[in-house]
Structure 1
Amino acid sequence: MEHTYAVTGMTCAGCQYKVQTLLGKVSGVTDVDIDLDAGEAHVKMDHHVPTSDLQNALKEYPKYQLNEKQVSMPAMSAFEELAEKSWVETYKPILLIFGYIFVASMIAGATPIGFNEMLAMRIFMAGFFLVFSFFKLLNLEGFADSYAMYDVIARKFKGWGYIYAFTELALGLAYATNFQPVITNAVTFVVMSVSIVGVLQTVLSKKTIRCACLGAVFNLPMSTVTIIEDGLMIAMSAVMLVMLF
């Protein structure tokens, strides 16, 4: 059976993760899905669990208040508001970032003796990882909480979210300095291949969830754009590995 409850006091992905974790520990609860924007907790249970038990699970965090869902006209959520926008308006932050990085990589690749594809790709990868790690590090805990909602490793080991942010930073610096290109591209291929698994699972299951690619700074929905983003990094690292041999 599944019941929906109204939860107030949640303001970020960290709150979402905390409430989901606490409710998931209640005896009889088999799964918890938190809709941060709607302020709802969808709780699956193998037998009836009193609302008081769920409320007690949150009692150490009084800012989170759980009550039975009242039937009413729901307010428009952040994701519903995004649906009112065009695709370009929704993904403007990512499009701008990719645009700037692409132009910089094209300029770097245009050498006096001809266009250097390897250099252009290396600069693109450096820019990608440095910029994306920057946004993650602005709110590292928020990113880790968001990442734990869908990544296959972070779901089991939340610490991977913290490690992943610094891994992106290290890869950005490695590409920028051309440090051990074979190792750098191999690590990129493996890390991004693992990352895309959780993204694919989320998108294919049609779950409405925030994308953590730009940390907790922007409210971007997980979509095929995220798949393309990860897939591009996988493809470019593979091409660069082939070119190095």
Structure 2
Amino acid sequence: MSKTATLYRMVTAEHICPFGIKSKALLERQGFEVKDNHLTNSKQTEAFKKQHDVKTTPQTFIDGKRIGGYEQLLEYFDKTKPEDRFAAAYRPVIAIFVIALFMAWAINWTTGTALLSIASVEKFVAISMTLLALQKLQDVEAFTNQFLGYDLLAQRWVRYAYIYPFAEAYAGIGMLAGISAFIVAPVALLIGTVGAVSVFKAVYIDKRELKCACVGGNSEVPLGFVSLTENLFMIAAGCWMLFQALS
């Protein structure tokens, strides 16, 4: 005997509720035949909410019992898990580094360069810097608000907080483009060294608990290892570029 569920969700010319689509897909994955009712205008939606004394849609009914919206449906099927705040905070950083690695390998693959090589490391660092800069540039004001909490140079010269993400992007793109080390490496060395000293002082000397601006403003990543790694990347990249140019 097939299981049936009744779903009411907004489907209008202006808006298709994403949670309604998710609810329908979840019910179907659980083996339910879904009676999919569309609320096609605001009048229908408001009448439905008033009739069932609910504040939101979608709403799912199983065996005549109202289950609720998408979140309640997840709970009904025991699909919810306690949020791992640590994992949630570090997810953007992990994604950036993984994507940077695969992009570096992709470039080497197309050029016939060995995947496990110094060239892969160079491209990985350059792409990582560029992607991290991109995160900061999405909301420069939010980035500066966090960055000013610990960066020593920015605290003395506020303009530096606004320059930093552009400088990081310049260094990363400059490395990828093969621009002269003498005009790219100093930038990487400057922002990397100042950043590393600032993070080390804030975290390991002053013992302050701050949020890292490495993946942009409003980040939940704790200041420490990730930001220090970002800055050490830049220092290493700057040193390596100069070494190659001088050798």
Question: Which of the five TM-score ranges fits, normalised by the shorter chain?
Answer: 0.5 to 0.7
Give how far 1:116 is off.
8.2
- Sort the Cα spacing of 1:86 and 1:223 in 2 relative to 1 into closer, same or farther, 3 A: same
Aligned counterparts of 2:104 and 2:212: Cα–Cα separation in 1: 25
The reply on whether 1:208 has 2:209 as its aligned counterpart is yes
State the partner residue of 1:138. 138
Give how far 1:203 is off.
1.0
Aligned counterparts of 2:218 and 2:127: Cα–Cα separation in 1: 18
Aligned residues of 1:105 and 1:123 also touching (Cα < 8 A): yes
Amino acid at match of 2:91: K
Amino acid at match of 1:152: L
SS state of the match for residue 208, structure 1? coil
State the partner residue of 2:229. 228
Give how far 1:94 is off.
0.5
Aligned counterparts of 1:239 and 1:113: Cα–Cα separation in 2: 19
Give how far 1:137 is off.
1.4
Counting aligned pairs with the same residue, the percent is: 25
State the partner residue of 2:106. 107
Give how far 1:179 is off.
1.3
Question: Highest Rg: 1 or 2?
Answer: 2
Matches for 1:1-245 after TM superposition, within 5 Å: 85=84, 87-110=86-109, 111-112=111-112, 114=114, 117-204=117-204, 205-244=206-245, 245=247
Give how far 1:219 is off.
1.8
Give how far 1:169 is off.
2.1
Aligned counterparts of 1:118 and 1:203: Cα–Cα separation in 2: 31
Any idea what the Cα deviations from partners look like across 1:50-81, whole Å, max 9, x if unmatched?
xxxxxxxxxxxxxxxxxxxxxxxxxxxxxxxx
- Sort the Cα spacing of 1:211 and 1:193 in 2 relative to 1 into closer, same or farther, 3 A: same
Gaps of 5+ in 1: 1-83
Aligned residues of 1:142 and 1:216 also touching (Cα < 8 A): yes
Give how far 1:113 is off.
6.0
Aligned residues of 2:144 and 2:217 also touching (Cα < 8 A): no
- Sort the Cα spacing of 1:158 and 1:238 in 2 relative to 1 into closer, same or farther, 3 A: same
Amino acid at match of 1:90: A
Large movers: runs of 4+ above 6 Å: none
SS state of the match for residue 155, structure 2? coil
Gaps of 5+ in 2: 1-82
Aligned counterparts of 2:170 and 2:226: Cα–Cα separation in 1: 24
- Sort the Cα spacing of 1:100 and 1:113 in 2 relative to 1 into closer, same or farther, 3 A: closer
Amino acid at match of 1:102: L
SS state of the match for residue 212, structure 1? coil
SS state of the match for residue 153, structure 1? helix
Aligned counterparts of 2:178 and 2:127: Cα–Cα separation in 1: 13
Aligned residues of 1:136 and 1:165 also touching (Cα < 8 A): yes
Aligned counterparts of 2:151 and 2:220: Cα–Cα separation in 1: 18
Aligned counterparts of 2:214 and 2:114: Cα–Cα separation in 1: 34
Give how far 1:108 is off.
2.2
Give how far 1:119 is off.
3.6
Give how far 1:162 is off.
0.4
Aligned counterparts of 2:210 and 2:181: Cα–Cα separation in 1: 34
Q: CA RMSD in A?
A: 2.4
- Sort the Cα spacing of 1:229 and 1:104 in 2 relative to 1 into closer, same or farther, 3 A: same
